Amino acid sequence: MKKQTYIWLALLMPLLSSCVAKTETESAVINSIQLEHSVLSLSKEATKLHVPWDLQYDKVNDAILFSEISGSIRKLDIKTKTVTLIDSLADVYHQRTLGLLGMALYQPEGQQAYLYLSYTSKKDSSIFSNLYRYEYSPEGKLAHPKLLLQIPGNTGHNGSRVIVSTDKKVYWATGDAASDTFAQDSSALNGKILRLNLDGSIPKDNPIANSYVYAWGFRNMQGLTHDAKGMIYTSEHGDAIEDEINLIRPLKNYGWPQIEGMIDTDKEKAIAKRSPRQEPIKSWTPVVAPSGLAYYGSGVIPEWKHSLLLATLKNQSLRILKLSANGQQIVDEKVLFKDQLGRLRSVLTLPNGDIYFCSSNRDWNPQKGFPKPDDDVIYRLRITDKASAPIIKPTTPKAMNNPAKTGQTLYEAYCASCHKADGKGLNNTFPPLANSTLVNGNPKDLLRVVLHGLKDKHIGGAKYESTMPSFSFLKDEDIVEITNYIRTHFGNSASTINQQHLTSLR
């Protein structure tokens, strides 16, 4: 090349790149979503991520800030779609469900902005959950970390999400750290909604003097959001049954572990009679594994105005939960993307009415057919004039008792998320039911495990970190169907079980 050409290029380059920056990069629309009146388009905004856990909107830089579970914080520029690294946190302890989890970006007009982060760390053999505050500069740099709170953690049930609500207070939804007592102990900080000042001190108007505790009795919350008036909602993982959406009120006890979901068994009613317990505003059995939650208050998508948007993991869907006018009830539920995009982790609504959400297919428990080469992905939903891609429509959730209850449908509803559809389990996490001595052995030993659950047992020389929940809530005939299904599938061929085997085991 001649010297002259170089000069021309050098002059042209800044011009060319500024042109690119000005025009918004249009992403390919994957699907058009037909609502009652509006049409939305679904597009991929960022791909090949590693378990993005939380999404936040940086209004100063018009960017999506996201945490990834192994400890990085990155930024997606909305217009150019470039992804840049902001920071990698060296002391994040990542394993299975542990790592860098929830965050909240607080950007008040003309004042110092803060990024609140919740993550697990490990010292010697102890695990902790930490709430940190970083200063966030207008250029999007992190500085001056301050540890606001450190509480016990565990190999599971570490929550967690964090928000700054309309009252300028920080709310931290903590997990019960798999403890039997923390959630009901008002002096412990696990299994709680904690309320802090922006600097981490205890607010003077907290419901218990000199305590961070705002509400208690929670198991493992993975969704936390607030509406324009400061009403706070959570999503929470149940054990084998009763995933929940809760409306959070000060000083209320949400019941875990004595009460699961609605107060509907005789035992639960007796407990609630002795001292009041708060019921969820929605519960799901079979479980959906609810994760990120975002309030949609915008009128841009009129059908969804005043709804909670919920990302689910096990159920692999985005759910639109329409709120009643006073926000105290969920009056309608719609399901989108069922099994299409895999596990969904987090959802975010923007002031302009756009919705961003992300998949979590590279996490510890990938579902059948995932991850895809592009995973994990940040998706965008945006209103549009007309459909330009294959049309999909939201559906109403399947009525629970409708589908024929065969051994297979029951197994898929209650067991397959852990032991997998083919009964092969998941390395070091869930044991295989195929060729299991217990599954093929004495009926009563098998029924005992299904009825009462199992913990810390060595199976075939392996130790599994998680626990097997109790399924005593299932009817006798359903348990018989399931156990016979697993005894005659996955290569197993044991004798059949009947209801008589169950008597005396309950």
CA distance 114 to 158: 23
- Choose, by CB under 6 A, the member of 375, 417, 423, 434 that binds ligand HEC: 417
Stretch binding ligand HEC (CB under 6 A), from 73-81, 135-143, 210-218, 416-424: 416-424
State which of residues 419, 420, 489, 501 lies at the interface with ligand HEC (CB under 6 A).
Answer: 419
Q: Residue 203 contacts by C-beta under 8 Å, 6 or more apart in sequence?
A: 169, 195, 196, 197
250, 207 Cβ separation under 8 angstroms = yes
- Sheet of strand 72-77, all strands in order from the earlier edge strand to the far edge: 52-58, 63-68, 72-77, 83-88
- Write phi, then psi, for 385 (nearest 5 degrees): -80, -40
455 lies in the binding site for ligand HEC (CB under 6 A): yes
Question: Between 272 and 449, whose beta carbon lies closer to ligand HEC?
Answer: 449
- Piece of the chain touching ligand HEC by CB under 6 A; list 190-198, 209-217, 268-276, 452-460: 452-460
Out of 114, 216, 284, 414, name the contact with ligand HEC by CB under 6 A: 414
**Residue numbers 377-406 binding ligand HEC by CB under 6 A:** none
CA distance 177 to 191: 8
Q: Which distant-in-sequence residues (6+ apart) come within 8 Å of 482 by Cβ?
A: 407, 410, 411, 414, 415, 450, 474
The span from the CA of 402 to the CA of 60, in Å, is: 50
Task: State CA 388 to chain mean position distance.
Answer: 31
Selected from 30, 113, 421, 454, the binder of ligand HEC by CB under 6 A is: 454
Distance between CA atoms of 302 and 35, rounded to whole angstroms?
Answer: 10
For residue 484, what are its two tokens?
């016979």
CB closer to ligand HEC, 97 vs 206: 97
Among the listed ranges 193-201, 348-356, 385-393, 453-461, the one in contact with ligand HEC (CB under 6 A) is: 453-461
Among 114, 116, 171, 430, binds ligand HEC (CB under 6 A): 430
User: Considering the rule CB under 6 A, would residue 439 count as an interface residue with ligand HEC?
Assistant: yes
Q: Which is nearer to ligand HEC, 385 or 456 (CB)?
A: 456
Examine residue 447 and tell whether it contacts ligand HEC (CB under 6 A): no
Total residues at interface with ligand HEC (CB under 6 A): 28
**Distance separating alpha carbons of residues 199 and 148, to the nearest angstrom:** 7
User: Applying CB under 6 A, which of residues 238, 280, 286, 431 lies at the interface with ligand HEC?
Assistant: 431
* Of the residues 438, 451, 494, 505, which one makes contact with ligand HEC according to CB under 6 A: 438
Backbone angles phi, psi at 312, to 5 degrees: -120, 150
Question: Which residue in the set 29, 446, 447, 502 belongs to the binding site for ligand HEC (CB under 6 A)?
Answer: 446
Bridge-based pairing of strands 29-34 and 391-392 is: parallel
**Choices 58-66, 91-99, 108-116, 456-464 (CB under 6 A): range interacting with ligand HEC:** 456-464
Interface contacts to ligand HEC, rule CB under 6 A: 240, 414-415, 417-419, 430-431, 433, 436, 438-439, 446, 449-450, 454-457, 459, 464, 466-469, 471, 482, 486
